[in-house]
């Protein structure tokens, strides 16, 4: 099958399988999504969603986060792991957003990448989900693994994988593609034992370690 036609089939199957796919992190503003995404590093979305409601009640605005000492915030987010580094990033992000962006999370990738804690993956999550801006493709562990299995990329570096995906995936699909692949990674294409027999993409998948 011609490469582009195969990719088009994959997109259609993902759309049918995961209608309405979106970010699993619960938030009510771009700032809350930025905080939740920073907290999600090396942590499950489920645990982050357990922590953030109380966190946002205690610190309702970026100004509140900017005013707290990192060691105090660390105790509030302890259950998410790596809490000292995350607390420093969140307080730093709050101060940057308040001091340089008027309390609003910036809407460009260039500006957002200057915010502490906002590397490309985080910036793409916030811009795509909060603002609907397709600045790039979110590459988390699921997207990395499944993009390799589906032969979208042969790279292992997240930055190079993102560049490959941005060349292959149409820009109007960048946001939803990541959401769908992440859901697929959680539901079927599981890292330790992919459920290939149940996978709607099985006939289009070139992975050499399929399970039966």
Query: pLDDT per residue over 2-40, tens digit each?
Result: 888 999 999 999 999 999 999 999 999 999 999 999 999
Q: What are the domain boundaries of the chain?
A: 30-131, 137-204
Confidence of residue 83 (pLDDT cuts 50, 70, 90): very high
Hey, what are 176's tokens?
């939803």
Active site amino acids: 121, 140
pTM, full prediction:
0.94
The pLDDT tens digits for 90-145 are 999 999 999 999 999 999 999 999 999 999 999 999 999 999 999 999 999 999 99
CATH number listed for the domain at residues 137-204: 1.10.1670.10
Task: Please tell me the distance from the alpha carbon of residue 53 to that of residue 8, in angstroms, as a whole number.
Answer: 39
What is the distance of C-alpha 180 from the center of its chain? 11
Percentage of the chain exceeding pLDDT 90 = 96
Sign of the four-CA dihedral 190, 191, 195, 201? positive
Task: Please tell me the distance from the alpha carbon of residue 208 to that of residue 137, in angstroms, as a whole number.
Answer: 25
Mean pLDDT along residues 61-83? 98
Q: Euclidean distance between the first and final Cα of the chain, in Å?
A: 24
**Would you state the torsion angle of the CA atoms of residues 164, 165, 168, 171, taken in this order, to the nearest 10 degrees?**
-130
Sequence-ordered alpha helix ranges (H) in the chain: 3-17, 30-39, 45-58, 62-67, 70-76, 83-101, 109-112, 120-125, 131, 141-149, 158-168, 174-187
Which CATH code, of 3.30.470.20, 2.40.50.140, 3.20.20.140, 1.10.340.30, is assigned to 30-131? 1.10.340.30
How many CB atoms neighbour CB 86 within 10 A? 24
Q: Which residues are CB-contacts of 152 (< 8 A; sequence separation ≥ 6)?
A: 7, 164, 165, 168, 169
Question: What is the reported pLDDT for 66?
Answer: 98
How many CB atoms neighbour CB 25 within 10 A? 18
The pLDDT tens digits for 169-204 are 999 999 999 999 999 999 999 999 999 999 999 999
Residue that is written with structure tokens 């489920």 in the block: 46
């Amino acid at each position: 099958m011609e490469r582009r036609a195969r990719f088009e089939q994959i997109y259609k199957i993902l759309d049918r399988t995961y209608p309405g796919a979106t970010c699993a992190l619960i938030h009510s503003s771009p700032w809350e999504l930025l905080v939740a995404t920073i907290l999600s590093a090396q942590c499950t979305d489920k645990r982050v969603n357990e922590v953030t409601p109380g966190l946002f009640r205690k610190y309702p605005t970026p100004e509140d986060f900017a005013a707290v000492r990192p060691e105090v915030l660390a105790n509030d987010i302890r259950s998410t792991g790596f809490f000292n580094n995350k607390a420093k990033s969140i307080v730093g992000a709050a101060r940057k957003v308040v001091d340089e962006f008027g309390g609003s999370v910036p809407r460009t990738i260039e500006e957002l990448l200057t915010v502490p804690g906002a590397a490309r993956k985080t910036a793409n999550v916030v811009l795509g989900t909060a603002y609907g801006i397709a600045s790039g493709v979110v590459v988390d562990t699921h997207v990395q693994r499944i993009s390799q299995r589906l032969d979208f990329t042969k790279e292992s570096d997240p930055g190079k994988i993102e560049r490959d995906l941005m060349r292959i995936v149409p820009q109007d699909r960048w946001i939803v593609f990541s959401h769908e692949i992440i859901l697929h990674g959680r539901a079927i294409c599981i890292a330790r034992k992919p459920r290939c027999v149940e996978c709607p993409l099985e006939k289009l998948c070139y992975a050499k370690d399929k399970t039966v």
